Structure 1
Amino acid sequence: MSKLIQLATHSSARGDLTVFEKILPGEIKRAFYIYNVESPTQERALHGHRKESNALIALAGQCRIFVTNGEEETYFHLTAPNECLVIEPGDWHIIDNFTKETVLLVLSNECYDPSDYFYDRP
């Protein structure tokens, strides 16, 4: 099941530096970001992956992610750039409640493969 983790952050008078390392299995093969979501009721994702793992980080703004694997279901809230939601293979998810300034970074350990997606909620 997906899990929310706190990323290591080093703060000083010069600002904050947050580190992402050794979070996903394997290597990061794909990155993309979601932004300019006009309505907080707009839903994104509505799918899961058979083998891919994702890490979601709200670099700016906030959003909510609903996750289910058919046995458990949970809402996660990303509210700070040092929070990372790791979505495991088999977890189906919806992203919503975007604030206007949200920039959501998604890192993946697989290249895009349409056959890895499933759309039916477990």
Structure 2
Amino acid sequence: MSHFPILKLPTFTDARGSLTVMEGALPFSVVRSYWIFGADGQTRGGHRHRHTQQALVAISGSVTIYMNDGHHIDNVLLEHPGDCLIVQPKDWHTMTFGAGSVLLVMSSHSYDRSEYIDEPYA
């Protein structure tokens, strides 16, 4: 089991398909949302934040998230659109994309480059 929290989002399935609900699921209010795609086989990220919390969902394909909070290290595989990884500001993270993957990122703060910490833990 991972030290890093993965929320199991409510997902409803019937003959017409599946629907996953985010409403009320996150421990913060979403200020910024974006998605990353076309990054097959690439690794992105490589930073942590001063204040921003993030929620990551692989809405298509699979993404492996390397996580390091300075005490715990883990590789978290996101491959189901009902799984949501919570990334705290202290969490150094990189994201490695499988073929055809789309990663949805929801952030607690707007983009501010000065909010990023580019130095990994020693």
TM-score (norm 1): 0.90
1:20 and 2:19 aligned: no
Partner of 1:29: 31
Partner of 1:113: 112
C-alpha displacement of 1:74: 0.9
1:48 and 2:48 aligned: yes
* Residues 10-60 of structure 1: per-residue CA shift (max 9 Å, x gap): 11122111011334344211011111114x2x2100001111000111111
Partner of 2:57: 57
* Residues 63-112 of structure 1: per-residue CA shift (max 9 Å, x gap): 1000101111111000111111110111110111x222101110011111
Partners of 2:30 and 2:19 lie apart in 1 by 20
2:112 partner letter? D
Structure 1 residue ranges, 4+ long, deviating more than 4 angstroms after superposition: none
Contact kept in structure 1, 2:9 and 2:25, CA below 8 Å: no
Give % identity: 35
Partner of 1:3: 5
Q: Which runs of 5+ in 2 are unaligned?
A: none
Secondary structure of the corresponding residue to residue 52 of structure 2: coil
Contact kept in structure 2, 1:65 and 1:93, CA below 8 Å: yes
RMSD of aligned residue pairs (Cα, Å): 1.3
Partner of 1:103: 102
Partners of 2:113 and 2:4 lie apart in 1 by 21
Contact kept in structure 2, 1:24 and 1:53, CA below 8 Å: no
Matched residue pairs, number? Answer: 119
Partners of 1:25 and 1:16 lie apart in 2 by 24
